[in-house]
Amino acid sequence: MRSGFISIIGRPNVGKSTLINRLVGEKIAIVSDKPSTTRNLIQGIYTDDEKQIVFIDTPGIHKPVHRLGNKLNNQAYYSSDDADALVLVMDASTELGKGDKFVIDRLSSVEKPVILVLSKIDKLTNEEILKKIDEVKDIYPFADIVPVSSIKNDNIDRLLDVISKYLTDNVMYFPDREVTSSSIEFRLCEIVREKILELTDEEIPHSCTCVLSDMTEDDKTINVYIDIVVDRDAVKKIIIGKKGLMLKEIGMKARVEMENLLKKQVYLELYVKTLRKWRDKEKYLNELGFNEF
């Protein structure tokens, strides 16, 4: 048995969370087409007869605007401390840019193998993939370069094989059925946040966070109570929507997914509450759990 920790880092929106979900074979991290979806370190566990790999999904590294943004970057860097190797994800379907350089510059201080994953290759022809590899192979002394498509499940096995070479331990960290160390409470809140990301635009989803206020269970149903915390009343209005329709849709979509996860009927109650400028206030960030790592 070989085992180890592998941190998945990269710019926002390159497909890190989609990749971790594919690697562990279950949706454990929320995904959206908007940058800065992930806000916490999320462990995803892959186990087979020969190995156990604990993947750590991280917030995308970006130029921070809020205090919260600083914390998210720090989490991404911090996650590399305990890792045996890093997986750096780059979106193969976009041009190399300043953001990539920003991340690469920060790698220079990491004395660990860095495996480059070129993601979203389903959007490219074979010729374009080869050209991309050629373009990136000298920007950093990568231990390996693996092009993948998480959506099409293309080359994921090869990535697992490559990663196996860098595992340094030989203990099982988790029981073999476990796919994440995240609590159910956290996953339920994230499901609500994912629906907000899906249904609202621009700054709206980023100015929200979700907190579970209560959860009870009876014979037939699990009752889930979640507060959607927003940073100003104008956002609260948008989240609730005309005649409460937006909140209703968020709730409906979230409930379906919660029922899939919990395998039981769910009653979900959402409550929207304003905490002015929570993203910039240390006190709120502490209370909302952004200082825990």
Ligand X SMILES: Nc1nc2c(ncn2[C@@H]2O[C@H](COP(=O)(O)OP(=O)(O)OP(=O)(O)O)[C@@H](O)[C@H]2O)c(=O)[nH]1
Residue 223 C-beta: closest distance to ligand X, Å? 29
The entry of Mg ion, ligand X, none that residue 244 binds, CB within 5 to 8 Å by partner kind: none
Q: Is-contact 60 100, C-beta < 8 A?
A: no
b/e sequence 269-279, b meaning 16+ C-beta within 10 Å: ebebeebeebb
150 binds ligand X (CB under 6 A): yes
Residue 181 C-beta: closest distance to Mg ion, Å? 17
The entry of ligand X, Mg ion, none that residue 204 binds, CB within 5 to 8 Å by partner kind: none
Query: In 3D, which of 30, 9, 15 has the Cα closest to residue 182?
Result: 30
Residue 123 C-beta: closest distance to ligand X, Å? 5
209 binds ligand X (CB under 6 A): no
- Could you report how far apart the first and last alpha carbons of the chain are, in Å? 28
Selected from 36, 43, 207, 209, the binder of ligand X by CB under 6 A is 36
Residue 218 C-beta: closest distance to ligand X, Å? 35
Q: What angle do CA 78, 83, 86 make, to 5 degrees?
A: 90
18 binds ligand X (CB under 6 A): yes
Please report, as residue ranges, which positions from 15 to 44 form the binding site for Mg ion (by CB under 5 A). Answer: 16-17, 37-38
Q: Residue 223: which H helix or E strand, with range?
A: strand 221-230
Selected from 16, 193, 255, 279, the binder of ligand X by CB under 6 A is 16
Q: Coil, strand or helix: which one is 10?
A: strand
117 binds ligand X (CB under 6 A): no
Question: Is 13 or 47 the residue whose CB approaches ligand X more closely?
Answer: 13
Q: Is-contact 52 45, C-beta < 8 A?
A: yes
- Angle, helices 16-24/156-164, rounded to nearest 10 degrees: 80
The entry of ligand X, Mg ion, none that residue 47 binds, CB within 5 to 8 Å by partner kind: none
Residue 235's contacts (CB-CB under 8 Å, 6 or more residues apart) are 204, 207, 208, 274
Strand runs labelled E in 103-220: 114-119, 144-147, 208-217
Selected from 3, 7, 73, 149, the binder of ligand X by CB under 6 A is 149
Q: Would you tell me which residues interact with ligand X (CB under 6 A)?
A: 10, 12-18, 31-33, 35-38, 59-60, 119-120, 122-123, 149-151
Q: Would you tell me which residues interact with Mg ion (CB under 5 A)?
A: 16-17, 37-38
